[in-house]
């Protein structure tokens, strides 16, 4: 089936394709149905629908000059372009564009690691370098640096960072966009620009000082359609000598406040890597009395029932990077702080392993803590070892042997990094779910935040499970889209916004960032129109629409 | 039955013929390398890594799908000649998304098929 870019006639599109072919060669302009299957979002909420976000063609350049040529051709034919690097953005839209009929620029063939410096701790990479590729490159050269990887190792440094993806080691590295340092971008008119020290010809420190001088537009290229990035620098974590873990548990519900304060203190002194919060009260999910208390957010009853089962209310797993001695000293200090700040806190020794850990240690599926304290730790990502372990999440499981999570997507709200804010958000999200006729799938009162970004929490709107395993009909998926949009509206009315979204929800998220009559969006769209007058570069991404296509804002399944 | 299932069933029926046609050109050693890099992270024999997950996700899903009727490990499967494998990989199958030509070429697929045929034969002994 031929799909055309919006506003482009079949004749004009054929001419554009001919020019793309002249630029990259006939093997690398893909238009066959079979070839384009893999450019669909495998988890799309609109799969098979007439408005599914699919591309009209994929063009796969081999170098920067070809990217520039593609952009210039697209300008001539007013053909919207979408760009993917490794193209594995599953849960946030996969490789599919914001605008149906866009031509997808698939940068996977540009897959060189251009530089790694193990003394100054940085790398410069092309778009197609996946975490798995990068790790192999490091291993083959026996370099003593780590890349902070996403859970899904087939994603890549550049694509993940440009969607503001996250990881799991030390704070500055977990925020993948903030860990970037310097980029090279093909602008909407085909010109090449470098940010930071890269703007100074002959600079020796492009990957070491990201700001350069004057305004730095680097932020425009993350979750935004202002250019196609073709090189990107990243700060790397030096390999430590030792890794140590420990578990803290605290008895009462309200102890969560002091627990978070103490963990924040250790985090912002860069003593610990990603802390993993959880609740041992998960063990009471089939206890009717506890469920009743938790659903009512009855704190006194929850504390009483927890105590009667000899269970603590919260836990956090801590991890330390350094030498054997420093990690031990830091763990001792963490324990001292916890015991001082939180009456009744308990501390459990975890693991203490020389780095690099062995393959067997990475693969080990058991964890050191005594029952009932379960661990959520994936060891590989704590050591910069990219894997695909997590793919069980969307897959068949023993619990769901005949279904897969066809519309797996993430919905994570930004929540202030305090215990009180989390306890409040739990109640807010739970109430909103119920108002909308949805019984939360898990007990909201024991849901815990993730601390992927060092300075803030994200709390999953798990109430909706983002899981349509039970009903995979197109109607159910559309109902889910509409439900999630309403959730976003109600969340925003209480001051919560999301950090990231698939295209089908991007306008709904962007709509919530409305301070002063959308001053930020108006600013972005003025820039967009000035820099990209034909509106061809990733239109709609991040809720920023060019003048020519502004009518599409919010139009998808209104 | 969806379209993919039909295509796969038809191809599987033509299997013996396809096998002899596909084998000579492909390079099993190259296929092994690609398999280890791009497929084994989900389909390998290693452990699942995550707490409590004893198998890798692709292997585990196929264990659940076939309940022992076919091996959970792709490297023990003798029923995945190139045309069948290509349909799975270019369309995706259940929770496995499709692979693009830029990440997995048609030659890569043929080579993987050759490798799987070889490894299945040696694991049968
Ligand atoms: C089970 C599961 C677990 C996951 N775990 C994580 C996780 O731990 N951390 C995490 O961050 N995410 C996670 N994700 C989400 C997602 O799969 C990853 O973020 C993945 O790394 C994104 O795909 P990619 O790296 O291939 O980026 P790409 O798909 O290449 O790029 C992402 C987006 O960035 C833009 N873009 C890409 N390249 C360019 C360019 N050169 N110029 C301009 N714009 C560009 C495009 O809009 C593109 O859609 C998970 C998803 C699932 C299903």
ipTM, interface predicted TM-score of the complex: 0.95
List Cβ neighbours of A142 (8 Å cut-off, separation of 6 or more). Answer: none
Q: Tell me the angle at which helices A299-308 and A288-295 cross, rounded to the nearest 10 degrees.
A: 150
CATH number listed for the domain at residues A509-557: 1.10.45.10
- Expressed in angstroms and rounded, the spacing between residue A84 Cα and the centre of ligand 1 is 9
- Expressed in angstroms and rounded, the spacing between residue A502 Cα and the centre of ligand 1 is 10
Ligand 1 pocket check: which of A63, A67, A151 to mutate, most ligand atoms within 8 Å of Cβ? Answer: A151
Q: What is the pLDDT of residue A257?
A: 98
Cβ atoms < 10 Å from Cβ of B67 = 9
Determine what percent of chain B is predicted with pLDDT higher than 70.
80
CATH number listed for the domain at residues A242-392: 3.30.70
Q: Between chains, do A390 and B57 touch, taking CB under 8 Å as contact?
A: yes
List Cβ neighbours of A168 (8 Å cut-off, separation of 6 or more). Answer: A148, A149, A151, A174, A273, A274, A378, A381, A382, A452
Q: What is the pLDDT of residue A464?
A: 56
Confidence of residue A461 (pLDDT cuts 50, 70, 90): confident
Query: With 60 as the cut, is the pLDDT of residue B3 above it?
Result: no
CA quadruple A49, A395, A105, A235: dihedral, nearest 10: 140
Determine what percent of chain A is predicted with pLDDT higher than 90.
89
Ligand 1 pocket check: which of A63, A91, A153, A219 to mutate, most ligand atoms within 8 Å of Cβ? Answer: A91
CA dihedral sign, ordered A63, A65, A67, A73: negative
Confidence of residue A116 (pLDDT cuts 50, 70, 90): very high
What is the mean pLDDT of the segment spanning A50-65? 98
Query: With 50 as the cut, is the pLDDT of residue A265 above it?
Result: yes
CA dihedral sign, ordered A287, A282, A368, A308: negative
Domain that holds residue B116: 27-44+74-124
What is the mean pLDDT of the segment spanning A148-172? 97
- Distance in angstroms (rounded) separating the CA atoms of residues A442 and A440: 6
Residues present in chain B in total: 125
User: Parallel, antiparallel, or unpaired: how do β-strands A192-194 and A237-238 relate?
Assistant: unpaired
Angle among Cα A191, A157, A526 to the nearest 5 degrees reads 40
Query: With 60 as the cut, is the pLDDT of residue A137 above it?
Result: yes
Class of domain A113-238: alpha beta
**Which atom of ligand 1 is nearest the CA belonging to A168?**
8
For B17-64, the pLDDT digits (tens) are: 444 444 457 999 999 999 999 999 999 999 988 888 999 999 999 999
- Give the DSSP per-residue string, B52-115: T--S-HHHHHHHHHHTTSS-SSGGG-SS--HHHHHHHHHH-BTTBPPPPTTTS-HHHHHHHHHH
Q: What is the pLDDT of residue A468?
A: 59
Confidence of residue B16 (pLDDT cuts 50, 70, 90): very low
In a domain, B5, yes or no: no
Beta bridge partners, A267, equal none
- Output A355 or B13, whichever has higher pLDDT: A355
Residue A61, SS3? coil
For A519-542, the pLDDT digits (tens) are: 999 999 999 999 999 999 999 999
- Distance in angstroms (rounded) separating the CA atoms of residues A114 and A125: 5
**H/E/C letters for each residue in A343-384?**
CCCEEEEEEEEECCCCHHHHHCCCCCCCCCCCCCCCHHHHCC
The beta-carbon neighbor of A363 closest among B47, B64, B97 is B47
List Cβ neighbours of A546 (8 Å cut-off, separation of 6 or more). Answer: A225, A525, A528, A529, A532, A533, A534, A535, A536, A539
In a domain, B40, yes or no: yes
Confidence of residue A23 (pLDDT cuts 50, 70, 90): very high
Q: Between chains, do B58 and A391 touch, taking CB under 8 Å as contact?
A: yes
Q: What is the pLDDT of residue A467?
A: 52
Domain containing B80 — which CATH number? Answer: 1.10.760.10
Residue A268, SS3? helix
A392 Cα to chain B: minimum distance (Å): 5
* Per-domain residue ranges of chain A: 10-106, 113-238, 242-392, 407-501, 509-557
List Cβ neighbours of A288 (8 Å cut-off, separation of 6 or more). Answer: none
What is the mean pLDDT of the segment spanning A272-301? 97
Q: Which uninterrupted H or E stretch holds A68?
A: helix A64-77
Q: What is the pLDDT of residue A113?
A: 98
CATH number listed for the domain at residues A10-106: 3.30.43.10
In a domain, B91, yes or no: yes
Q: How far is CA A271 from CA A175, A245, A462, A493, in A?
A: 17, 12, 30, 36
User: A158 near A125, Cβ under 8 Å?
Assistant: yes
Does a cis peptide bond (omega within 30 degrees of 0) precede residue A246? Answer: no
Residue A124, SS3? strand
What is the mean pLDDT of the segment spanning A490-497? 96
Determine what percent of chain A is predicted with pLDDT higher than 70.
98
A256 Cα to chain B: minimum distance (Å): 24
For A220-252, the pLDDT digits (tens) are: 999 999 999 999 999 999 999 999 999 999 999
For A447-459, the pLDDT digits (tens) are: 999 999 999 999 9
Residue with CA closest to ligand 1 atom 18: A89
Question: How many domains is chain B partitioned into structurally?
Answer: 1
Q: Tell me the angle at which helices B82-91 and B3-13 cross, rounded to the nearest 10 degrees.
A: 170
The beta-carbon neighbor of B100 closest among A108, A362, A398 is A108
Q: What is the pLDDT of residue B125?
A: 66
User: Parallel, antiparallel, or unpaired: how do β-strands A242-250 and A314-322 relate?
Assistant: antiparallel
């Amino acid at each position: 089936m031929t799909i055309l870019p919006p506003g482009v006639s079949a004749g004009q599109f054929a001419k554009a394709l001919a020019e793309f072919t002249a630029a990259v060669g006939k093997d690398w302009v893909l238009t066959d149905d079979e070839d384009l299957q893999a450019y669909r979002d495998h988890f799309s909420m609109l799969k098979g629908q007439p408005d599914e976000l699919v591309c009209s063609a994929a063009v796969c350049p081999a170098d920067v000059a070809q990217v520039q040529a593609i952009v210039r051709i697209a300008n001539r034919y007013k053909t919207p372009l979408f760009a993917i690097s490794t193209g594995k953005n599953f849960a946030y839209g996969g490789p599919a564009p914001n605008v149906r009929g866009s031509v997808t620029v698939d940068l996977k063939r540009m897959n060189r690691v251009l530089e790694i410096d193990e003394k100054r701790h940085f790398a410069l990479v092309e778009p197609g370098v996946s975490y798995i590729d990068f790790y192999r490159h490091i291993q083959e050269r026996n370099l003593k640096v780590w890349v902070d990887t996403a859970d899904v190792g087939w994603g890549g440094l550049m694509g993940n960072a440009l969607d503001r993806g996250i990881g799991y080691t030390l704070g500055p590295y977990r925020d993948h966009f903030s860990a970037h340092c310097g980029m090279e971008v093909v602008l909407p008119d085909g010109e090449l620009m470098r940010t930071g020290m890269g703007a100074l010809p002959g600079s020796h420190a492009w990957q070491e000082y990201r700001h350069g001088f004057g305004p730095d537009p680097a932020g425009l290229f993350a979750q935004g359609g202002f250019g196609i990035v073709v090189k990107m620098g990243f700060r790397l974590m030096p390999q430590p000598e030792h890794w140590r873990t420990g578990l803290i548990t605290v008895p009462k519900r309200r102890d969560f406040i002091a627990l978070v304060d103490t963990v924040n203190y250790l985090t912002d002194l860069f003593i610990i890597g990603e802390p993993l919060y959880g609740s041992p009260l998960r063990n009471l999910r089939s206890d009717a009395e506890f469920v009743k208390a938790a659903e009512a957010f009855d704190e006194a009853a929850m504390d009483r029932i927890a105590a009667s089962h000899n269970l603590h209310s919260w836990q956090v797993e801590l991890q330390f990077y350094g030498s054997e001695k420093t990690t031990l000293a830091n763990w001792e200090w963490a324990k001292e702080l916890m015991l001082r700040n939180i009456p009744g806190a308990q501390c459990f020794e975890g693991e203490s392993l020389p780095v690099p850990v062995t393959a067997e240690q990475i693969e080990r599926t058991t964890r050191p803590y005594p029952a009932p304290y379960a661990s959520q730790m994936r060891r590989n990502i704590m050591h910069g070892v990219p894997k695909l372990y997590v793919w069980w999440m969307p897959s068949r499981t023993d619990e769901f042997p005949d279904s897969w999570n066809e519309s797996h997507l993430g919905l994570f709200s930004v929540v202030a990094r305090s215990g009180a804010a989390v306890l409040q958000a739990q109640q807010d999200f739970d109430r909103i779910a119920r108002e909308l006729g949805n019984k939360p799938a898990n007990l909201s009162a024991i849901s815990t935040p993730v601390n992927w970004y060092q300075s803030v929490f994200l709390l999953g709107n798990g109430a909706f499970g983002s899981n349509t395993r039970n009903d995979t009909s197109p109607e159910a998926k559309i109902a889910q889209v509409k439900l999630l949009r309403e959730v976003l509206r109600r969340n925003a009315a209480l001051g919560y916004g999301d950090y990231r979204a698939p295209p089908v929800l991007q306008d709904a998220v962007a709509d919530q960032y409305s301070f002063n009559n959308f001053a930020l969006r108006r600013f972005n769209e003025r820039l967009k129109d000035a820099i990209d007058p034909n509106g061809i570069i990733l239109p709609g991404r991040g809720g920023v629409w060019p003048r020519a296509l502004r009518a599409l804002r919010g139009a998808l399944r209104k | 039955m969806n379209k993919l299932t039909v295509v796969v069933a038809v191809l599987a029926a033509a299997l013996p013929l396809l096998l002899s046609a596909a084998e000579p050109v492909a390079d099993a050693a190259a296929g092994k390398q690609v398999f280890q890099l791009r497929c084994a992270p989900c389909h390998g024999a290693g452990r699942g890594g995550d707490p409590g997950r004893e198998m890798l996700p692709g292997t585990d899903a196929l264990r659940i799908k076939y309940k022992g009727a076919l091996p959970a490990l792709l490297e023990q499967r003798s029923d995945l000649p190139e045309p069948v494998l290509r349909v799975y990989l270019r369309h995706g199958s259940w929770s496995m998304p499709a692979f693009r030509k830029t990440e997995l070429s048609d030659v890569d697929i043929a080579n993987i098929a050759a490798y799987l045929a070889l490894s299945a034969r040696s694991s049968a002994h």
